[in-house]
Chains A and B, each alone.
Chain A
Amino acid sequence: MRLHKISALAGVSILAFAACSSSGASTAPSAGGGGESAAPPASKGELTLGVSLPLSGGAAADGQPTLKGAQLEVDRINAAGGIGGYTIKLLPLDHAVAGKYNEQQAAQDMQTFVADDAVIGVVGPYNSAVAKVQIPISNSAGLAQCSPANTNTGLTKPEEGALDLRKDFPDRINYIRVAATDSLQGPAMAIYDYDTLGLKNLLIVDDVTTFGKGVADTFQTKFEELGGTVVLRQGAPADTTDFNGIINSQAVEASPPDGVYYGGVVTSGAGLFLKQLRQAGLDIPFTGPDGIVNGSVNDDGSLIKIAGADAAANSYGTIAAIGDFPAKAEFDAAFEEHFSADSDFKTPGAYSGPANACAVVLLEALKAAVDGGAADMAGIREAVRAYASDPANSFDTVLGPISFDENGDTTVPFISFYEVDTAATGGADWVFKEQQSFGE
């Protein structure tokens, strides 16, 4: 039932987008509220929290649990009477095309959100390459955007090129994220591989995307600094199906690696890579960033399902967020109860908590905006952005208190380590091992 509702909403928003593209972006299209037009200011009616994630196909294993994390908070707020008289509507737009995240679709979705005056903020996106196309749009419009999962360093840090993304308003931060960056995620795994797993000779493959190459670079630098040897570094573009040429290459034959690091996401081919590694008889640890930690053997498109539970054993991955937060047990229980009637994705994913935190941040900012007297839609949107990105504010989220620095990065970054457990209850799944805080 929920899915029907989501697709209906998506349908309306496509109509809204069509209307707006025909009449120019400056006009205010319908609020997407199922026919009722939200002429600003809506008389304490409905405000929209957008969600921009890949939600279908192979990418559903990434997007759906993340969406539900945000939905949990919105449903809770609405059950408690909304915010300052407004009820909150969650508007998820799916930018997966043929099962993979698609930057063009994501850019269109962001235009839809920007053009819809009722949208006070957006939770998302999931993939760094998507953030790269969305940030210029949301920055130009001054729409707050909170990503639960983006890790590419260049999205926020000026010295890594973030000013190119927010060049319309370089000093007006609208993009914040609760995930730690790849400048932490890559090196953290390098240390984990070198010290904890005792790997000294690695085969490194990345998927040649913003995220994958970026994190593999930071990983490799740290790993070599520690004294590790990289047997072979290869880029395998996102649609690669045959990794046998890499696995059997002469460099690998000459000095067999004792482990593998894959910089990339599962829709790029991580599952096939792992499967072919095992078939070639290389039962060495398979390690990677959060892109490979995407659900259990029961979830379509997950690494474990594609590679097969047996092949997925001996795999390790990072999550750029706190894995074991104090309220985790309660959060998990609330999540499972709330979505128990759903047909799939009933349990929280690695980024469900962070998505919930993003919703909390944006809605707390909305509360502050409404309390502060912002009445018209443009005023509310700007007030939400200003409040959410203000380094002086701290937000009480399920992950713990969160605040953001002057670039929009979290001040309490964590990296968590996960391992595939083939004996997990309910089928092979990623289980939490340990976490590391990088907060000051």
Chain B
Amino acid sequence: MTSSTVTAEARPNRFLVARRSGVGPYLFILALTVVMYFVLGPKQFVNALTIGAIYALVALGYTMVYGIIELINFAHGDVFMVGSFVSLFVLTNILGATGPAPDLATIVYQLVVTFALTMSVVGVLGVTIERFAYRPLRNAPRLAPLITAIGISFILQNVVQLIYGPSPINTPQVIPPSARVDIAGVSIGWINIFIIVTAISLMFGLQLFVSRTKVGRAMRSTASDREAASLMGVDINRTIAITFLIGSALAGAAGVVQGLYFGNITSALGFQSGLKAFTAAVLGGIGNITGAAIGGFMIGFVEVTAANFGFFVWAQAAVFMILIVTLVFRPSGLFGQQLGERA
């Protein structure tokens, strides 16, 4: 990189989170969570966590790809949508599920198979997209891969419409929506618990993977400085491919969860949820894994709060108001890299 390209952006080590952002944002989030719990009450709190978990899973893919190659991968929302359709295919065509599974063993079996197959297929899809659509453009002006991403988004959406048609389609809800459990007097759906636990486990797994493994270190170094990393022997192509594999697999998991929770999916899903997840990633500080996760949950909370207090119409506007306010005071997002004086 010549010095001229560094003006607008330092090349921060985006995957390394806490070291530079300090504890401030964490305390802020913790305080906010406690406040939200008392404002919304336990039931709505769980609703917000559930929907936020889905946004967060999708947001991770945006933020990882941006972190490593500084590409806003507009096709990512549609990768998530494809994930929901792959899970529909696995559930109905391979496992033959039509609705709630009869017993716990079947539930576990169907969920394990669905998650494994969907995450693999969608992960490979992500790698394929990167290999054929983004890699040839890696050194092109930044606008080129961005437009390509939009093109991929249309292709995915149209292929799904070709196969499944544009109508919304019902998906089998393997975990019966009526299965609920009383926790401290509050009735909570097992599906909600399942989604929240799954999402948070995946996020922690990702965080550990990125911070503790050799591949994770390669990812961080590639994000930090691609050329220096390659000089140090990091296989850049492989590392970027792995980033796409993981990000897309997480979107695949989100797709499975979407089908399980709502029992209905449509090919337009990618655009709607993609936009929210992208907002979540920016809110948290794009390029930052913790930030994306927290951003996803925040959007879930904004939506549910708006619905709870009767201004649901304004939920979208509220999300963007918060985004603007955040960016005014912290231009790089809640957990984003604080740029040095130099910029």
Contacts and interface: CB of A to CB of B under 8 A. Distances in A.
Contacts of B166: 56-58, 96, 98-99
Contacts of B47: 244-245, 248
A166 interface: no
Given A244-B47, A272-B264, A275-B264, A234 B167 contact: no
B55 to A, nearest CB: 10
3 tightest CB-CB pairs across the interface, nearest first?
Answer: A245-B307, A57-B166, A99-B166
Given A241-B272, A244-B47, A250-B41, A234 B307 contact: yes
Interface string A230-246: 00111111011111111
A250 B51 contact: no
A190 interface: no
Contact of B170 (A242, A246, A305): A305
B168 A249 contact: no
A306 B267 CA distance: 15
Contacts, number: 103
Contacts of A271: 168, 264
Nearest to B265: A241
A60 interface: yes
Interface in A208-237: 208, 232-237
Given A99-B167, A272-B262, A306-B170, A245 B268 contact: no
Contacts of A243: 307
Contacts of B167: 57-58, 60, 99, 300-301
User: In the complex, which range does the number of interface residues on chain A fall in?
Assistant: 35 or more
A379 interface: no
Given A98-B161, A235-B313, 13 more contacts: A56-B166, A96-B166, A99-B266, A100-B268, A234-B313, A235-B312, A237-B313, A245-B51, A245-B304, A250-B40, A250-B44, A253-B41, A306-B264
A95 to B, nearest CB: 13
Given A251-B310, A253-B43, A301-B168, A242 B264 contact: no
A300 B264 CA distance: 12
B230 interface: no
Contacts of A279: 177-178, 189
B51 A244 contact: yes
B24 interface: no
Residue from B44, B47, B166, B310 having most chain A Cβ neighbours under 10 A: B166
Nearest to B192: A244
A98 B81 CA distance: 14
Interface of B: 40-41, 43-44, 47-48, 50-51, 157, 161, 165-168, 170, 177-178, 189, 262-264, 266-269, 272, 303-310, 312-313, 316
Contacts of B168: 58, 99, 271-272, 301, 306
A232 B308 CA distance: 10
B34 to A, nearest CB: 18
Interface string A251-293: 1010000000000000000011001100101000000000000
A98 B264 contact: no
A56, A253, A279, A308 interface centre (most CB from chain B within 10 Å): A279
Given A279-B177, A279-B178, A234 B262 contact: no
A294 B51 CA distance: 29
A359 B306 CA distance: 46
B298 to A, nearest CB: 14
A337 to B, nearest CB: 27
Interface string A42-73: 00000000000000111010000000000000
Interface string A111-126: 0000000000000000
B230 to A, nearest CB: 42
A249 B272 contact: no
Given A98-B166, A234-B307, A300-B167, A245 B312 contact: yes
Nearest to A99: B166
Contacts of A99: 165-168, 266-268
B268 A239 contact: yes
A331 B268 CA distance: 37
Interface in A299-328: 300-301, 305-306, 308
Given A253-B43, A279-B178, A242 B303 contact: yes
**Which of B40, B48, B264 has the most CB atoms of chain A within a 10 A radius of its CB?**
B264
A308 B313 contact: no
Nearest to B307: A245
Contacts of B268: 98-100, 239
10 contacts: A98-B161, A100-B268, A241-B262, A244-B51, A245-B47, A249-B307, A250-B41, A275-B262, A275-B264, A279-B178
B313 A233 contact: no
Nearest to A245: B307
A200 to B, nearest CB: 20
Given A245-B306, A279-B177, A305-B170, A236 B312 contact: yes
Contacts of A305: 170
A249 B264 CA distance: 22
B264 A239 contact: no
A271 B165 CA distance: 17
Nearest to B314: A235
A304 B235 CA distance: 53
A246 B58 CA distance: 23
Contacts of B263: 275
A119 B40 CA distance: 57
Nearest to A266: B168
A99 B266 CA distance: 10
B279 to A, nearest CB: 14
Contacts of B303: 242, 245
Contact of A239 (B177, B267, B272, B305): B272
Contacts of A237: 313, 316
Nearest to A96: B166
Nearest to B261: A242
A234 B51 contact: no
B293 to A, nearest CB: 19
Contact of B262 (A100, A232, A242): A242
